[in-house]
Amino acid sequence: MKGVQKPMSTKTAVSFGARPAKLPTVLNGAEQRSILSEPNKKCPTGLRNFAMLKIFLNLGLRSSEALNLKASCIDWQSGKVIIVAGKGERDRVLWLTDEDLTTLKAWLDIRPNESDYLFCTLQGARMSDRYVRDFVRRYAKKAGINKRVHPHALRHTFATDLLRESKNIRLVQKALGHVSISTTMIYTHIVDEQLESALKQFREGQLT
């Protein structure tokens, strides 16, 4: 009939949210606590590595962003952090918790003062991406986490937890620095999969 709008087809309605073939690796709460317990915070490198793990999990930085982060990019009173020219050449602003600020200040007190980088070697040089990948994988293995864990998996974990907490995909997009919302949409599939798993086990056998 003329003038009557046809309903959107099912295919059109869901195509934007189609589930990808493979979802990113994320850590649950127990696994996050386990990997954070592995670094020996009594030694300088252990404290530094612990601080980096916290940055990955609580700010969702890419490895390159963490390695290029400078102390001058942090407001040590408010916790405001400026991530300068990350992937896609888009600066963004994030915030540290008081707990994370305390951890970073402890590392700042013992790191080489002449270094340009917040996270550096004990000689003040820029750390390598390979070293960071290796210690993340090593801590995960020691923690008994049977997943392929790397710095980007910790970024995925941050994004998933932030989406679950905020229920705001645009906020997650902004925190991650994604240019396109379609890149961020993958985290909705992770949360949906976790909900599916939870519901399938919900009160299983209790009402029979």
Please give the positions annotated as active site: 62, 87, 152, 155, 178, 187
- In terms of Cα–Cα distance, which of 45, 166, 63 is closest to 55? 63
Query: Are 120 and 127 contacting, i.e. CB atoms less than 8 angstroms apart?
Result: yes
């003062």: which residue's tokens? 113
Three-state DSSP string of 60-120: CCCHHHHHHCCHHHECCCCCEEEECCCCCCCCEEEECCHHHHHHHHHHHHHCCCCCCCCCE
Distance CA 59, CA 79 (A): 12
| Residues 65, 157: Cα–Cα separation, whole Å | 17
- Both ends of the chain: CA-CA distance in Å? 50
